């Protein structure tokens, strides 16, 4: 007997028929003698609809619909998961499987006070263990918990992944299965590269980079948590037939295990390619080339809580002015511009340009640590397609380039081929 946490994302619970299919996956594990807790997302599209209602309500009168009380946002958007957890419990009961639904506060899963994007502080696993030990399936609403003032808090978009991994850690589960609409983690987003290959295993650290750099298959925080708490996390498809799935030569279903680096026998130099359209480029033209300017620019942005990612500064030809280019989250583009305009007194005269028509494409692999020439291979491949690079950042296990958004698919496909990742 094992203790399992199964998580089903929005597409997997998109309607009652799909919830029945999910219940068959749950039934299979229960019949195999396992203790099971299930974490569910809202039906696909529901969270977006709820966010839309919030913005509509907030735009009452002449108000900006993007500014609203985060606690009330949470009260609204957390409701999607409440519906699915109840529906799955009803379907399971109808199939003769004892089940009970739980919302975040009923566990309790406590969070900090960052409503809208709260972090999990603590989970009491006792009640869930008790439920599972008496043979009931605990069906838990993902994405939500209870904040320090007793109000519902949500964990940021995609947060049900984090709920699932955190609950798996709290109940000491043997595995956390993340069921989604693809049968694992691929070398890149299979929706844009049909030649992407499924990876059997990915190291926590690589998965963390892939998720942070745009692979939305897992929420970044879920991977951080899995890495810290050593939760064996298995990404798999809910669309596999629940009754016939589960058998390769080793008795394993198709999917991707996120695990320790030591468990990976054959490491590749490059494991995957990710892309993110969530960044905007800002360039300060002819800014003074003297000490203190970078401090004034990035100090002002930091004070406004705007994260800066890639930074490029040229050495000036004439020793007096230079260009400074960097990226910020696309949602912060307008705010960053006004912060910089307001800080002109310290920065000095400069022309501020910005564009959200950019994409960051990243090449990731732990094998890069021990291989030279990985970056130049990317630059050569992109050059061969006439793709211009606006900015570059590298770390031990990744290289990111900023390019025009129009070239996203071409760049991802080109790099995928260049690093030998295409499936045969």
Of residues 159 and 365, the one with the C-beta less far from ligand ASP:
159
Tokens at 107, concatenated:
């566990």
Interface positions, 183-212, toward ligand ASP (CB under 6 A): none
Of residues 63 and 191, the one with the C-beta less far from ligand ADP:
191
Neighbours of 40 (CB within 10 A): 34
Residue 56: which residues within 8 A CB-CB, separation 6 or more?
Answer: 65
**Of the listed pieces 4-12, 92-100, 121-129, 297-305, which binds Mg ion according to CB under 5 A?**
4-12
Q: Which residue is nearest to ligand ADP (CB)?
A: 9
Of residues 9 and 147, the one with the C-beta less far from Mg ion:
9
Residue 375 has φ and ψ, to the nearest 5°, of -65, -45
Of residues 10 and 272, the one with the C-beta less far from ligand ASP:
10
Per rule CB under 6 A, is residue 85 in the interface with ligand ASP?
Answer: no
Per rule CB under 6 A, is residue 160 in the interface with ligand ASP?
Answer: yes
Q: Minimum distance from CB of 7 to ligand ASP (Å)?
A: 8
Of residues 51 and 308, the one with the C-beta less far from ligand ASP:
51
The torsion defined by the Cα of 266, 186, 374 and 360, in degrees rounded to 10, comes to -160
By a kind-dependent CB cut-off of 5 to 8 A, residue 99 interacts, out of ligand ASP, ligand ADP, Mg ion, none, with: none
Per rule CB under 6 A, is residue 125 in the interface with ligand ASP?
Answer: no
Beta strands in 303-385 (DSSP E): 311-313, 321-329, 351-355, 358-364
H-run or E-run covering 398: strand 398-404
Alpha carbon distance 352, 309 (integer Å): 17
Q: Minimum distance from CB of 41 to Mg ion (Å)?
A: 7
Report the residue from 12, 21, 35, 47 that binds ligand ASP according to the rule CB under 6 A. Answer: 47
Per rule CB under 6 A, is residue 143 in the interface with ligand ASP?
Answer: yes
Tokens at 282, concatenated:
């800002």
Of residues 182 and 382, the one with the C-beta less far from ligand ASP:
182
Q: Minimum distance from CB of 220 to ligand ASP (Å)?
A: 12
# binding residues, Mg ion (CB under 5 A): 2
Of residues 161 and 333, the one with the C-beta less far from ligand ADP:
161
Per rule CB under 6 A, is residue 41 in the interface with ligand ASP?
Answer: yes
Partner residues linked to 364 by β-bridges: 272, 398
Q: Please check whether residue 249 is in contact with residue 217, taking contact to mean a CB–CB distance below 8 angstroms.
A: no
Q: Minimum distance from CB of 45 to ligand ADP (Å)?
A: 10
User: What's the Cα-to-Cα distance from 179 to each of 25, 39, 397, rounded to whole Å?
Assistant: 10, 10, 27
Q: From edge to edge, which strands make up the β-sheet containing 311-313? A: 311-313, 321-329, 279-288, 351-355
Per rule CB under 6 A, is residue 158 in the interface with ligand ASP?
Answer: yes
């Amino acid at each position: 007997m094992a203790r399992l946490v199964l998580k089903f994302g929005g597409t997997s619970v998109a309607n009652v028929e799909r919830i029945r299919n999910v219940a068959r996956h749950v039934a299979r594990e229960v019949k195999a003698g396992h203790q099971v807790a299930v974490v569910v997302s809202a039906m696909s599209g529901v969270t977006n609809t709820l966010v839309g209602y919030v913005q509509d309500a907030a735009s009452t009168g002449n108000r900006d619909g993007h500014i609203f009380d985060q606690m009330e946002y949470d009260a609204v958007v957390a409701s999607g998961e409440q519906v699915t957890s109840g529906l799955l419990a009803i379907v399971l009961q109808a199939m003769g499987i004892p089940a009970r639904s739980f919302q975040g506060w009923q566990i309790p899963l406590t969070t900090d006070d960052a409503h809208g994007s709260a972090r999990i502080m603590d989970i009491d696993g006792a009640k869930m263990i008790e439920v599972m030990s008496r043979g009931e399936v605990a069906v838990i609403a993902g994405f939500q918990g209870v904040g320090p003032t007793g109000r519902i808090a949500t964990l940021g978009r995609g947060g049900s992944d984090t709920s699932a991994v955190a609950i798996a850690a709290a109940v000491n589960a043997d595995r956390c299965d993340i069921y989604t609409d693809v049968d694992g983690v691929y070398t890149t987003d299979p929706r844009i590269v049909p030649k992407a290959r499924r990876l059997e295993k990915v190291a926590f650290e690589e998965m963390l980079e892939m998720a942070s750099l745009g692979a939305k298959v897992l929420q970044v925080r879920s991977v951080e948590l899995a890495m810290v708490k050593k939760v064996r996390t298995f990404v798999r498809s809910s669309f596999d037939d629940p009754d016939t799935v589960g058998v390769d030569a080793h008795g394993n279903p198709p999917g991707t295990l996120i695990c320790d680096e030591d468990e990976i026998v054959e490491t590749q130099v490059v494991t995957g390619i990710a892309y993110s359209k969530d960044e905007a480029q800002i360039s300060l033209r002819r800014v003074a080339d003297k000490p203190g300017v970078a401090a004034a620019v990035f100090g002002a942005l930091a004070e406004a809580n705007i994260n800066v990612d890639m930074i490029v500064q040229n050495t000036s030809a004439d020793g007096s002015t230079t260009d400074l280019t960097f990226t910020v989250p696309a949602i912060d583009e307008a705010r960053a511009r006004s912060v910089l305009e307001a800080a002109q007194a310290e920065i000095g005269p400069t022309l501020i340009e910005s564009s959200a028509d950019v994409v960051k494409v990243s090449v990731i692999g732990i094998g890069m640590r021990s291989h030279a020439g990985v970056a130049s291979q990317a630059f050569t491949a992109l050059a061969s397609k006439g793709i211009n690079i606006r900015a570059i950042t590298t770390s031990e296990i990744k290289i990111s380039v900023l390019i025009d958004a129009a070239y996203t698919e071409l760049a991802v496909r080109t790099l995928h081929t260049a690093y030998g990742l295409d499936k045969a």
